[in-house]
Chains A and B, each alone.
Chain A
Amino acid sequence: MLVNWSKDVEAALAEAKAQNKPLLIDFSAAPA
């Protein structure tokens, strides 16, 4: 399944609030 990752924290927080959905944040140091 393809995950549509956001890369804008403020937009993600705002969208989670607007849609009343949880937000998952993945903090990584893995090589791209």
Chain B
Amino acid sequence: MPLEAHIKEHPAWFHRFDALWTPTVLIMDAGGVERLRIEGYLPKNWFRARLEMGLGRVAFMHKKWAEAEKIYTGVAESHADTAVAAEAIYWRGVSKYKATNDHTVLGEVIIELGAKYPDNEWTLKGLPWAH
């Protein structure tokens, strides 16, 4: 569900949602809680990947682990040429771990991240999972 807020038409909304820069895009869950914020322009495919990450975050925060894992898998596979894919692999692993409590999942995640995105921030975040 999309809502457009232009600075000249709805300045109060900028204040209400702490939008201090444009473009800013928020993904809110159905309860009106912010789950993702994108500030600044992105190329189309990166933007699409970020939006999908927002949907993944909505599912994750509502503990819908299987749905989150599916969304993150989609990002990792469809947007593998973006750095967002590394973040998707990270959260896909966390979603799977949350669903199973199988910590070996996280070890597999860091191996995949190291192989595919060795310099990515999310690979660094996964380093404690390396055995």
With beta carbons under 8 angstroms apart, the residue of B17, B29, B31 that contacts A27 is B17
Say yes or no: is B26 at the interface (Cβ < 8 Å to chain A).
Answer: yes
Say yes or no: is B128 at the interface (Cβ < 8 Å to chain A).
Answer: no
Contact B7 A23 (CB under 8 A): no
Contact B58 A22 (CB under 8 A): yes
Which of A22, A27, A29, A30 has the most chain B CB atoms inside 10 A of its CB?
A27
Contact B25 A27 (CB under 8 A): yes
With an 8 Å Cβ cutoff, the count of chain A residues facing the other chain is 25
* Complex interface residues of chain B between 51 and 91 (CB less than 8 A to chain A): 51, 54-55, 58
Q: How many A-B residue pairs have CB under 8 A?
A: 103
* Complex interface residues of chain A between 1 and 32 (CB less than 8 A to chain B): 3-9, 12-13, 15-17, 19-30, 32
How far apart are A9's CB and chain B's nearest CB, in angstroms? 6
Contact B2 A6 (CB under 8 A): yes
How far apart are A30's CB and chain B's nearest CB, in angstroms? 8
Contact B3 A6 (CB under 8 A): yes
Say yes or no: is B4 at the interface (Cβ < 8 Å to chain A).
Answer: yes
Residue of B nearest to A3 (CB): B2
Contact A22 B13 (CB under 8 A): no
Chain B residues in the interface with A (C-beta under 8 A):
1-10, 13-14, 16-17, 19, 22-32, 35, 51, 54-55, 58
The 6 closest A-B pairs by CB, nearest first: A27-B19, A5-B4, A27-B24, A29-B22, A12-B3, A23-B28
